[in-house]
Amino acid sequence: MKTIGILAKPNFPGVVATLQGLVPWLRERHKEPLLDPLIPSFSIGEHTPNLKSDCVDQGDMLLVFGGDGTMLRAARLVARHPIPILGINVGGLGFLTEITPDDVYPALEKVFRGDFRIDERLMLHSRVCSRTETVADTVALNDVVISKGTLAGMVKLEISVGEEFLTAIRGDGLIISTPTGSTGYSLSSGGPIVNPSVHAMILTPISPHMLTNRPIVVPQTEVVQVVLRSKDEGAVASFDGQSGHPIHEGDTVVVQALDTRAQFIRFPDKTFYQVLRQKLKWGES
């Protein structure tokens, strides 16, 4: 790995100090850092490194300082031509970022030696379609959420899987989640935790009016279509909780598996179940 893209949480106060040490360390090992344009410019000694700022998605790997939100942004950035991503947790819970800032140098040494594995994660391709055209087209790593947005009441949604009508729900909305996103909004809405090695999508109603509306897991090969039947304005489709698009009566949100996978760098001493126990504090008295 010769070129290392670097992303950082925008309000991470230690980014400059961290990069002042990391950049020369990488160059000493004949690696070329490529910085995210959102990282503030900085200097080392009396010179400013000649760092490229518009091609972090063209490196051999991506180093991400932040929490899960920054990792979601990173995965979307390289979704169409994925490269391995290593997350350094400077955020909160951090299901996707298992390395601490103190371990960044030993972790990179392992990566450069090839002592790691690639954990591939399902991503979603979503389109918002009006009656005549596609008005939004995006990808998500965690989830696509169709919700009431600013509406005071409930939304009515008609859900189809493949060519078959599944159900109609009334409530606060619907979460269409990947296994990666199953520990996020879907979990807080009563959805199951799904191992990321399972190739599936999870449909989780948000506060449904009918108690018979329950989460359902469908194969990744399916295409999910959700039609908004509410007449009131204010409903929205959001993607990874970081971007959104207003939807109107009759609009359809089409969600299916993306044809590429996010690639996360993992080390042999960490498993999915270990991360669950650590982050959710399972087994603690």
CATH H superfamily, domain 124-257: Probable inorganic polyphosphate/atp-NAD kinase; domain 2 (2.60.200.30)
pLDDT of residue 256: 98
Do 143 and 176 meet the contact criterion of CB atoms below 8 Å apart?
yes
pLDDT of residue 269: 76
pLDDT tens over the chain, length 285 residues: 899 999 888 777 777 788 888 989 999 999 988 888 777 665 554 454 555 555 666 789 999 998 888 899 999 989 988 899 999 988 666 778 878 888 999 999 999 999 999 999 999 999 999 977 889 899 999 999 999 987 778 999 999 999 899 999 999 999 999 999 999 999 999 999 999 999 999 999 999 998 889 999 999 999 999 999 998 888 999 999 999 999 999 999 999 999 999 999 998 877 888 888 887 888 776
Secondary structure of the chain in HEC code, one letter for each residue: CCEEEEEECCCCCCHHHHHHHHHHHHHHCCCEEEECCCCCCCCECCECCCCECCCHHHCCEEEEEECHHHHHHHHHHCCCCCCCEEEEECCCCCCCCCECHHHHHHHHHHHHHCCCEEEEECCEEEEEECCCCEEEEEEECCEEEEECCCCCCCEEEEEEECCEEEEEEEECEEEEECCHHHHCHHHHCCCCCCCCCCCEEEEEEECCCCCCCCCEEEECCCCEEEEECCCCCCCEEEECCCEEEECCCCCEEEEEECCCCEEEEECCCCCHHHHHHHHHCCCCC
For residue 232, indicate whether it is catalytic: no
pLDDT of residue 245: 94
Instruction: Locate the domains of the chain by residue range.
Output: 3-121+261-280, 124-257
pLDDT of residue 46: 47
Do 123 and 255 meet the contact criterion of CB atoms below 8 Å apart?
no
Q: Would the CATH topology of 3-121+261-280 be identical to that of 124-257?
A: no
Catalytic-role residue among 68, 172, 240, 251: 68
Architecture of domain 3-121+261-280: 3-Layer(aba) Sandwich (3.40)
The span from the CA of 225 to the CA of 161, in Å, is 6
